[in-house]
Amino acid sequence: MGQSISEFLGMDQSMYQLVLLPILIFLSRIMDVSINTIRIIFMLQSKKAISTFLGFFESLIWILAISQIFQNITSWPTYLAYASGFASGIFVGMIIEEKLAIGRVVVRVITRQPARELIEYFREKSFRFSSVDATSEEGAVNIIFTVIKREALPSTIKVIKTYNPKAFYTVEGVKKVSDDEILDERSFTTRRIFRR
């Protein structure tokens, strides 16, 4: 196959093996590893159809790349291209995942200062949240839990830092939100007292 491709392109066989083939393998690995990264994210979101669709193309591209390596087993540049493409694919996949901002996250905010302004912001944005009065080793604190779309995370963190730069917050991924399809976006608030 390598011979036929090189002849079709009017390229010398050695030039094909040293230059064009490694480039093709490098690009193929970037594509299939990037697809793999996105597929895993969709799997964690229980998106069965799109995960299956992506898995088909991921495996197809991988088979094409690895078959070329076996057909040119003595060509060391293909090994470097394969490994470099794999590493680059991870990087590219992570960038794509950040841009897609798929799914939802839980944001927990712990603050010793009154959180009225932050709660009001969540109400204005129609975020579902819970506000809890709690006690820590340093005294009374307010804990706010909210579930938001990942695309809203950067702006939410910016608001948290604006209202209280010293607030402690954590962010965790969410696989599924109960009744996500039928719940409206009206906020609700529950307040409870927790003591040590």
Edge-to-edge strand order for the sheet containing 104-111? 128-136, 139-149, 104-111, 168-174
Based on the domain organization, do 92 and 114 belong to the same domain? no
CATH code of the domain containing 135: 3.30.70.120
Amino acid of residue 51: S
Answer yes or no: do 14 and 93 share one domain: yes
Let me know if residue 184 belongs to a domain: no
The pair phi, psi for residue 113, each rounded to 5°, is: -85, 155
Question: Does residue 31 contact residue 64 with C-beta atoms inside 8 Å?
Answer: no
Contact 178, 152 (CB under 8 A): no
One digit per residue, the tens of pLDDT, for the chain of length 196 reads: 444 565 556 666 677 777 788 899 999 999 999 999 889 888 877 788 989 999 999 999 999 888 888 887 788 888 899 999 999 999 998 888 878 777 788 889 888 877 788 888 888 888 888 888 887 777 888 888 888 888 888 888 898 888 888 888 888 877 666 655 434 443 333 333 333 3
Helix (H) or strand (E) holding 134: strand 128-136
Do 165 and 84 lie in a common domain? no
